[in-house]
Structure 1
Amino acid sequence: MKGARIPTSQPYPVQAGMNTEDAKEELRRAIRAARNNRPAKQRATAASAIADVVSAIPEVAEAGVVGLYTSRDTEPGTGELMRQLAGRGARVLLPVLGAGLARDWADYTGTDDLLVRAPGRPPEPGGPTLGQDALKLADVVIAPALAVDSAGVRLGQGGGWYDRVLTHVRPGTMVVAVVFPEEVYDAAERPLPSARHDIRVGAVATPADFRRL
């Protein structure tokens, strides 16, 4: 990505001398604000495109079990991707949030079963939970992000949930972060702040394309 044109809409409020956590929070605020301003029609179009892009990734197309997530309104939509994966017979595992940072998973059994089960949480399946180790069953993992850079650094929401979750992925399993096109950063020009505990991803998908990192 070195030398690539930086999107004019790409926020980067990181200043020299900022500590890592402050830089992350500034970026989160800026990216969330941009997402909140995205028109609903654009989000719907992006969700359809994401399903097509991600489904075509070889590791996803061949996967028998996929670790996925239910998107919030302002995130790149995953609903159509879920339906496509289940429609071809893949087993789809979705996060279930317990108290605090408790981690669990359950099977996707259809959109009718996806409900907001507690305030502030994304929709979750209501079936039996499978335990945090269930993610080891996944042949590929699709993870949410606010931004990703070309070195594989992933900026999450700030709770650390996915950094803990991804430690349960089988070695060698591809982890794909999903973001909007302007949320892919050139690590040579605009590196994302990262800490030692942050788990890097191996690929990024947007409504426009897919690339390995």
Structure 2
Amino acid sequence: MEPAESKQELRRAAIARRKLVAAEERTRAGAQIANHLHELPLPEHGGMVAAYVSVGSETETRPLLAALLRESYRVLVPRLGGGMDVGWGELRGADMALADCGERRLQEPAGDVLSPEILQRARMIILPALMVDECGTRLGRGGGWYDRALMHRAANAPVIAVCWPWEISPAPLPHETHDLPVDGVLSPEGYRPLKRATPPARDCQAND
């Protein structure tokens, strides 16, 4: 099975499983994730963290964003603008002032759209995942937004994927050459650092 085909099958299965999760469980999971904030490889207070506003069946992230702001971190979240262009906005204030941007779009903060290069200033990056394996291979939704965004990251900034506990795969996930491995995974059960193996030395990855 080709990696791209296999990824699509895994995405369909993950999304179908997520649709079974009640809204109350997503809310509870958001509070649990926020409680694990200090397990993360956080930068110094006042540093910049890139994260995201959850949508749909994703684990709720607003409590985590609020916790970061309370700890005096500067928080960036994606701004999609007129399409799938890479851009960022900065959250400000305890209420975060998020605006609805249409169906199937992330809520976004008011203010200027910041350029992709702003990600170079982030000292930790938190991003969504449908699945993650032990080597840090991340399965996203397939739109390529984070692939483009992460081209601008600082090399020493840890990348943390957020997913449900059952989406942490003990089996290797399909991997392509452009895929960036993540350094750790955050779920309602806590934070877990990963091996972050990089191609070609991926002793726990096979695409056969």
> Which one of 177, 189, 195 corresponds to residue 208 of structure 1?
189
Residue in 1 aligned with 2:25? 42
* One-letter amino acid of the counterpart of residue 168, structure 1: H
Give the aligned partner of residue 105 of structure 2.
121
Q: Does 1:27 align with 2:33?
A: no
2-structure distance, mates of 1:118, 1:148: 29
| Residue number in structure 2 paired with 1:176 | 160
SS in 1 for 2:155: coil
Give 2:202's aligned residue: none
Give 1:58 shift.
4.7
Contact 2:55/2:104, CA 8 A, preserved across alignment = no
* CA-CA distance at 1:47 after TM superposition: 0.5
Q: Distance in 2 between matches of 1:61 and 1:140?
A: 7
Runs (4+) off by over 6 Å: none
**What is the deviation of 1:183?**
0.3
CA contact under 8 A between 2:137 and 2:180: conserved in structure 1?
A: yes
Displacement, 1:99? 3.6
Which 5+ residue runs of structure 1 have no aligned equivalent?
A: 1-17
Question: Matches of 1:70 and 1:101 in 2, distance apart?
Answer: 16
- Compute the TM-score of the two structures, normalised by the length of structure 1: 0.85
Structure 2 regions of 5+ residues with no counterpart? 195-208
Alignment match, 1:80: 63
Separation of aligned partners in 1, 2:139 and 2:157: 20
Deviations 1:68-93 (A, max 9, x none): 00001310111001111111211000
1:155 and 2:139 matched: yes
Distance in 2 separating the partners of 1:89 and 1:116: 25
Of 19, 34, 54 in structure 2, the residue corresponding to residue 71 of structure 1 is 54
> Structure 2 CA distance, aligned partners of 1:101 and 1:112?
23
- Tell me what 1:57 maps to: 39
CA distance in 2, matches of 1:28, 1:178: 15
**CA displacement 1:111-132 (0-9 Å, x = unmatched):** 4621222332111112111111
Asked if structure 2 preserves the Cα contact closer than 8 Å seen for 1:59 and 1:139, the reply is no
* Corresponding residue for residue 13 of structure 1: none
* SS of structure 1 residue aligned to 2:87: strand
CA distance in 2, matches of 1:204, 1:112: 25
Query: Number of aligned pairs?
Result: 192
TM-score of the superposed pair, with normalisation by structure 2: 0.87
Match of residue 125 from structure 2: 141
